[in-house]
């Protein structure tokens, strides 16, 4: 459990190679023990989802679910099934159905009482809704993410929530608002040492044509191409 938490935090700090290495070792050490596999892969799937790697998230989630197909380990199994939903939705595989399943899982297993990462998963639900083209539902998911963040102090999700709001503005065609929000997410992430989100903010700023990381002003959008600390309280 401790190694999984370390890897997850390393991912938030932008040390994704280190996170992958630690999680790979953890999964290998789990062997065929269902609980150990479920534990290791739940950390792996959560980390992959926050990093934004749907292929990795799906592989981890399916490995963990196969070890516990009957959903015996409720909390850990919830994260695995949420990661599978996120991976499918963001890869364009029935995103509306995946988002509906994810929302049901969050409400049933994470929201009442509030569990670890509920604000993060509402933010990721926002990404799923954007992938499905359901922008009003995406905004509602982000409102829920902010509510849980403020109520329970789950500050690890703060920059992510702002970033997904930026994605929502971009999907709505408002690149100026998207750039402003991405820049704000970058500022929050830098303050927290969450360098993963500074990296993601930079990529989003590049996509919308305004990259402020080095004090560069508005750039010509045609020249840009899409890309191929305080302790966190989750």
Please tell me the predicted confidence (pLDDT) of residue 219. 32
What would the CATH number be for the domain defined by 94-213? Answer: 1.25.40
DSSP class per residue in the chain: -HHHHHHHHHHHTT-HHHHHHHHHHHHHHHTT-HHHHHHHHHHHHHHHHHHT-HHHHHHHHHHHHHHSTT--SHHHHHHHHHHHHHHHHHTTSSHHHHHHHHHHHIIIIITTTT-TTHHHHHHHHHHHHHHTT-HHHHHHHHHHHHHHHHHH--GGGHHHHHHHHHHHHHHTT-HHHHHHHHHHHHHHHHHHT-HHHHHHHHHHHHHHTB--TTS--B--GGG------PPP--
- Of 42, 39, 19, the C-alpha closest to 30 is 39
- 2 or 225, which is more confident? 2
β-bridge partners, 210: 218
Give the mean pLDDT of 91-112. 96
Please tell me the predicted confidence (pLDDT) of residue 2. 87
Residues contacting residue 229 through CB under 8 Å, at least 6 positions apart: 13, 191, 192, 193, 194
Task: Give residue 155's pLDDT band: very low, low, confident or very high (50, 70, 90).
Answer: confident
Domain boundaries, the chain: 1-93, 94-213
CA dihedral 35, 38, 39, 45 (to 10 degrees): 180
Among 21-30, 124-133, 147-156, 213-222, name the one with the lowest average pLDDT: 213-222
Burial of residue 175 (CB within 10 Å: 0-12, 13-18, 19+) is middle
Please tell me the predicted confidence (pLDDT) of residue 116. 82
Task: Give residue 110's pLDDT band: very low, low, confident or very high (50, 70, 90).
Answer: very high
Please tell me the predicted confidence (pLDDT) of residue 183. 96
Reading the block at residue 100, the tokens are: 């509906």
Task: Give residue 1's pLDDT band: very low, low, confident or very high (50, 70, 90).
Answer: confident
Whether the domain at 1-93 and the domain at 94-213 fall into the same CATH topology: yes
Q: Over the stretch 200-227, which tens digit does the pLDDT of each residue have?
A: 999 999 998 854 433 433 333 223 323 3
State in words which class domain 1-93 has. mainly alpha
Task: Give residue 121's pLDDT band: very low, low, confident or very high (50, 70, 90).
Answer: very high
Q: Over the stretch 161-201, which tens digit does the pLDDT of each residue have?
A: 999 999 999 999 999 999 999 999 999 999 999 999 999 99
Q: Over the stretch 29-85, which tens digit does the pLDDT of each residue have?
A: 999 999 999 999 999 999 999 999 999 999 999 999 999 999 999 999 999 999 999
Please tell me the predicted confidence (pLDDT) of residue 53. 96
């Amino acid at each position: 459990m401790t190694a999984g938490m370390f890897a997850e935090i390393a991912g938030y700090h932008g040390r994704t190679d280190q996170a992958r290495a630690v999680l790979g070792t953890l999964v290998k050490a789990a062997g065929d023990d269902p609980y150990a596999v479920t534990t290791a892969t739940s950390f792996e799937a959560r980390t992959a989802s926050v990093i934004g790697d749907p292929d990795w998230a799906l592989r981890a989630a399916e490995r963990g679910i196969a070890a516990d197909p009957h959903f015996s380990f409720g909390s850990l199994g919830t994260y695995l099934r949420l990661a599978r939903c996120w991976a499918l939705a963001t890869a364009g595989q029935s995103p509306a159905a995946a988002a509906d399943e994810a929302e049901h899982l969050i409400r049933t297993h994470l929201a009442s009482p509030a569990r670890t990462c509920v604000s993060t998963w509402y933010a990721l639900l926002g990404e799923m809704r954007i992938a499905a083209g359901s922008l009003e539902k995406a905004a509602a998911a982000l409102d829920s993410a902010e509510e849980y963040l403020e109520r329970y102090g789950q500050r690890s999700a703060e920059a992510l929530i702002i970033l997904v709001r930026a994605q929502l503005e971009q999907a709505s065609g408002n690149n100026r608002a998207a750039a402003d929000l991405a820049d704000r997410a970058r500022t929050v992430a830098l303050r927290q040492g969450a360098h993963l989100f500074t990296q993601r903010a930079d990529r989003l700023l590049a996509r919308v044509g305004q990259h402020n990381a080095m004090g560069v002003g508005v750039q010509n959008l045609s020249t840009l191409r899409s890309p191929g600390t305080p302790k966190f309280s989750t």
